[in-house]
Amino acid sequence: MTQEPTADGNPPPSVPEPARRRPRRWLPSLVWLIPIVAAAAGLSFMFNMLSRHGPDIEITFRSAEGLEAGKTRVRYKDVDIGQVKAIKLDKGLSNVIVTVELTNDASDFAVEGSRFWVVKPRVAASGVSGLGTLLSGAYIGVDPGKSENRVTEFTGLEVPPIVTADTPGKQFVLRAKDLGSLDIGSPVYYRRINVGQVVAYDLDPDGEGLTVRIFVSAPYDRFVTRSARFWHASGINVQLNADGLKLQTQSLASVALGGVAFLPSPHLPRSEPADNETVFDLAADEDDALRREDGAPVERVMYFQQSVRGLSPGAPVDFRGVVIGEVRTIGIEFDRKTNSFRMPVVVNLYPGRLGIRYKGAADKEAADRLMDVLVRRGLRAQLRNGNLLTGQLYVAIDFFPGARKLPPAEEGSMAEFPTVPGAFNELQSKLADIVDKIGKVPFDQLGQNLSDATRSMKATMDTAQQLMDRLNGQVAPEAVATMEDARKTLQAAERTFASDAPLQQDVRRAMQELMRAADSLRQLTDYLEQNPQSLLRGKPKEQP
CA-wise closest residue to 229 among 159, 293, 280, 166: 280
Lowest-confidence segment of 1-5, 34-38, 133-137 by average pLDDT: 1-5
Name beta bridge partners: 203.
Answer: 210
Helix, strand, or coil (residue 519): helix
Residue 359: per-residue pLDDT? 47
Task: Say if residue 116's pLDDT is above 80.
Answer: yes
Q: Which residues, 6+ apart, have CB-to-CB distance to 529 below 8 Å?
A: none
The answer to whether 291 touches 268, Cβ cutoff 8 Å, is: no
Alpha helices in 294-392 (DSSP H): 360-376
Beta strands 228-232 and 279-283 are parallel
- Higher-pLDDT residue of 75 and 499 is 75
- Higher-scoring residue by pLDDT: 234, 300: 300
Residue 361 pLDDT:
42
Size of the chain in residues:
544
In this predicted model, which residue has the larger pLDDT, 27 or 494?
Answer: 494
Which is higher by pLDDT, 324 or 34? 324
Q: Is residue 188 predicted with pLDDT exceeding 80?
A: yes
Measured CA to CA in angstroms, residue 57 lies from 53, 97, 109, 153, 532 at distances of 12, 10, 10, 6, 170
Query: Which range has the worst mean pLDDT, 211-215, 396-400, 439-443?
Result: 439-443
Under 8 Å between Cβ of 140 and 118:
yes
3-state helix, strand, coil in the chain (%, to 5): 30, 30, 40
Please answer whether residues 58 and 97 qualify as being in contact, where contact means their C-beta atoms are separated by less than 8 angstroms.
yes
How many C-beta atoms lie closer than 10 Å to residue 435's C-beta?
9
Please determine, for residue 327, whether its predicted confidence score (pLDDT) is greater than 70.
yes
* Of 202, 277, 263, nearest in space to 233 by CA: 263
pLDDT in tens, 420-463: 887 655 566 666 667 777 777 777 777 777 777 888 888 888 88
pLDDT band (50, 70, 90) for residue 22: low
pLDDT in the model for residue 52: 60
Task: Report the share of the chain in percent with pLDDT over 70.
Answer: 75
pLDDT score, position 362 = 47
| pLDDT band at residue 517 using 50, 70 and 90 as cut-offs | confident
Higher pLDDT, 373 or 251: 373
Cα–chain center distance at 450: 63
Backbone phi and psi for residue 122, each to the nearest 5 degrees, phi listed first: -135, 145
* Phi/psi at 324 (5° precision): -115, 10
Name the pairing type of β-strands 187-190 and 193-203: antiparallel
The set of residues, in sequence order, having a beta carbon less than 8 Å from that of 534 and lying 6+ positions away, is 527, 528, 540
Residue 294 identity: D
CA angle 337, 339, 345 (to 5 degrees): 80
CA angle 321, 357, 274 (to 5 degrees): 100
- Give me the pLDDT at residue 389, please: 74
Quick one: how many helices (H) and strands (E) in the chain?
10, 25
Among the residue ranges 111-120, 183-192, 229-238, the one predicted with the least confidence is: 229-238
Q: What is the pLDDT of residues 128-157, one digit of tens each?
A: 666 667 777 889 999 998 888 999 999 998
What is the residue extent of each domain of the chain?
Answer: 47-155, 169-289, 298-420, 423-451
Cα→Cα distances 85→70, 78, 115, 248, Å: 6, 19, 18, 54
Could you read off the pLDDT of 256-287 as tens digits, one per residue? 567 899 999 988 888 899 999 999 999 988 88
- Model confidence at 223: pLDDT above 80: yes
Q: What mean pLDDT comes out for the span 504-514?
A: 77
The mean-pLDDT minimum among 137-141, 325-329, 333-337, 388-392 falls in 388-392
**Residue 401: per-residue pLDDT:** 79
Given a cut of 80, whether residue 400 has pLDDT beyond it is: yes
- When pLDDT is averaged across residues 230-238 and rounded to a whole number, the result is 74
Residue 299 near residue 346, CB atoms below 8 Å: yes
SS (H, E, C) 418-466: CECCCHHHHHHHHHHHHHHHHHHCCHHHHHHHHHHHHHHHHHHHHHHHH
Stated pTM of the model: 0.55
Name the residue with higher pLDDT: 339 or 211: 211
Sign of the alpha-carbon dihedral angle for 82, 87, 88, 94: positive
Helices (H), 261-303: 286-289
* Mean pLDDT rounded to a whole number for the chain: 79
Contact between residue 271 and residue 421 where contact means Cβ atoms under 8 Å apart:
no
